[in-house]
Amino acid sequence: MSIRVQAARMFPLLLVAAGLTACGGSNDSTGTGAYVDGETFTLATLGDPGNLDPHASFVATELASFAYDTLVAVDSKGDIQRQLASSWTVTDKAVTFEIRDDVTCSDGSAFDAQTVVANIDYVADIDNASPFRGVYVPADADASASGSTVTVALPSPAPFVLEGFTRLPMVCQSGLDDRDSLKDGTVGTGPFTVTESVPGDHYTLAVREDYAWGPGGATTSETGTPETVVLKVVANEATAANLILGGQVNAAPFFGPDGDRLSKANIDAVETQSAYAHHWYNMAPGRPGSDPVVRKALTQALDLAELLRVITSGRGSSPTSLAVWDAGVCGGNTVDGNLPTTDPKAAAEALAADGWTKNGDGVLTKDGEKLSIRFIYSSQGPGQTAAAELVVAAWKKLGVDVDAKGLDVAEQTAALFETGDWDVTWSSPKAPNPLVLVPFLSGPSPAQGGNNFGSVANADYDSHVQAAMTKIGNDSCPEWEAAEAALFQRADVVPFANITVMTFHKGAELERTGLLWVPTSIRMLG
């Protein structure tokens, strides 16, 4: 099995995008609470999408959800809904979609089955380096069209193939023919279309008045649908909170304590869980983490419950799996009973038995080499820094020489995928299903042209993944859960913190499902 994606484009999925699910009403204490037309919905976003090509980067996914439709959609309960496809069938050999005949593109052209094939072919072509290849579109998929029917042949089974197509944006033919036009514009079938792109500042989208093929029959003719949507790039959560309080922004997600001011102001929020912080060890040859005794000892030296409380400022919960999957996907608890428990004394004894002894400075050495750890973590947020200080203190007490440094996303990505100069890092995998994370937990390392930045080589994990790949959908979950358990038992990866994400919204009602907004759910309030 080979699942390859482009690391630099894929990694924001692990570090940045917040998995949000559910919906809620909006507080509108100064207005009538009635729906109003002709308004602008403004969303604060921490990530600047830059290149808007929806097949080029996960960073553009948030904006793409407004401008592009998918073949099928998924609701907050995990149920698949019709969108561009009116019906579908799934077997271990193929997926077929019946494409609607009433869909038009933002450029006025018709959308048809052959355009679907062209989208799938583009993503599946390794030369195009789309990060969706092998993630949302099986790497070996072969698509063809006959009339309004699209058949995607699967030479090998793909466990979550239908779920993958709920996330693959469909670009209209003129955009496929001129991909440069997609860098700062959109050509899709979605309810909005980009009219202005100002990278680093804002992106403006206009409503399509004729849109009538959204999930569940959603249209843009409903009262309260915004005339304009603005994605405003906001550098930090404190600024976003000020903008919501001042009425300059309608909605923004919050991880940290800046959202407390909005709660106190009685502004409504959608409350959901997201992965937030997991230990990943570098197991490349010659790194300390290549020794399973060292990995387990470093984990046992830490009070994971205390780290959870500190890094999330009391807003967190203990993970039950490697990521928070989409609703309806693999709900088993793979963490309990599989992670090493907190026991500094046992950690010290295990290292001693492994040949580590303390020198005159109290630092552990073996064969003349110090037990030195380069620990890198996110520089964003006081919780990250405070938790990192606890880790450093615990490891120094154990006898570890620790070099800890907070990095921004770009610096952290470079360390993991380019220089390889790190031993422990924190990341927060946000993936819709277990299949998405396979390239990061098996296969070649970045130095070998792959994405396995921790150089994980866990035979039990690989074996269970291979078994999972022979099944469809949730029938594969027992194997995925066994695969995760194998990672945790060896302390290859140590999940320790999920967080409650608050998406505050004022002057508008809205819904989110999975990683994305539901654009047709937005209703402006007077």
85-117 tens-digit pLDDT: 999 999 989 999 999 999 999 999 999 999 999
Both tokens assigned to 474: 């949730």
Cα–Cα–Cα angle for 419, 423, 425, rounded to 5 degrees: 90
Task: With CA atoms as reference, report the closest residue to 333 among 317, 345, 344.
Answer: 317
**Sign of the torsion formed by the C-alpha atoms of 2, 135, 436 and 377:** positive
pLDDT of residue 405: 95
Q: Provide CB contacts within 8 A for 263, sequence distance 6+.
A: 269, 502
pLDDT at position 402: 97
pLDDT score recorded for residue 319: 94
From residue 466, alpha-carbon distances to 139, 243, 479, 491 in Å are: 15, 49, 9, 21
CB 193 within 8 A of CB 54: no
Query: How far apart are the C-alpha atoms of 160 and 176, rounded to whole Å?
Result: 26
Distance of CA 370 to the CA centre of its chain: 36
Tell me which residue has tokens 């969706």: 132
Supply the DSSP symbol for 78: S
Query: pLDDT at position 515, please?
Result: 59
Greatest Cα pair distance in the chain: 78
Q: 471: which 2 tokens?
A: 């099944």
CA distance linking residue 164 with residue 433, whole number of Å:
9
First CA to last CA across the chain, in angstroms?
54
Beta bridge partners of 506: 27
CA torsion 431-435-436-442 (nearest 10°) is 120
> What are the residues whose beta carbons fall under 8 Å from the beta carbon of 518, sequence distance 6 or more?
23, 215, 218, 510, 511, 512
Query: pLDDT 10s digit of each residue in the chain, 526 long?
Result: 333 334 444 454 555 433 333 333 334 444 567 999 999 999 998 778 889 999 998 888 889 999 999 999 988 788 899 999 999 999 989 999 999 999 999 999 999 999 999 999 999 998 998 888 888 898 889 999 999 999 999 988 888 899 899 999 999 999 999 999 999 999 999 999 999 999 999 999 999 999 999 998 999 999 999 999 999 999 888 999 999 999 999 999 888 788 889 999 999 998 878 888 999 999 999 999 999 999 999 999 999 999 999 999 888 999 999 988 888 889 899 999 999 999 999 999 999 999 999 998 999 999 999 999 999 998 766 788 999 999 999 999 999 999 999 988 778 888 998 999 999 999 887 788 898 888 889 999 989 888 899 999 999 999 999 999 988 888 999 999 999 999 999 999 999 999 888 889 999 999 877 557 899 999 999 9
Nearest C-alpha neighbor of 151 from the set 72, 196, 95, 113 = 95
Q: What pLDDT score was predicted for residue 314?
A: 87
Q: Which two tokens stand for residue 162?
A: 């239908």
Q: How many residues does the chain have?
A: 526
444's CB contacts (< 8 A; 6+ apart) are 450, 451, 452
pLDDT of residue 19: 34
What is the C-alpha to C-alpha distance for residues 105 and 111, in angstroms, rounded to an integer? 6
Sign of the alpha-carbon torsion through 50, 56, 62, 66: positive
Tokens representing residue 395 in the block? 């490891």
Calculate the CA 278 to chain-centre distance: 14
Say which amino acid occupies 127. Answer: D
**Per the confidence metrics, is the pTM higher than 0.85?**
no
For 95-112, the three-class secondary structure string (H helix, E strand, C coil) is: EEEEECCCCECCCCCECC
Which CATH superfamily, name and number, covers 273-501? Dipeptide-binding Protein; Domain 3 (3.10.105.10)
Break the chain down into helix, strand, coil percent, rounded to 5.
Answer: 30, 25, 45
Token pair in block for residue 245: 């309080």
Cα separation, 70 vs 88, whole angstroms? 13
Residue with tokens 């608050």: 502
Distance CA(103)–CA(188), nearest Å, equals: 10
Residue 191 CB neighbours (<10 A): 30
Map tokens 């820094």 to a residue: 385
* Predicted local distance difference test score (pLDDT) of residue 328: 81
Instruction: Give pLDDT tens digits for 423-457.
Output: 999 988 778 889 888 888 999 998 988 889 999 99
Relative to beta strand 424-427, strand 251-254 is unpaired
**Looking at the DSSP assignment, which residues form a beta bridge with residue 357?**
365
- d(CA 184, CA 201) in angstroms, rounded, equals 13
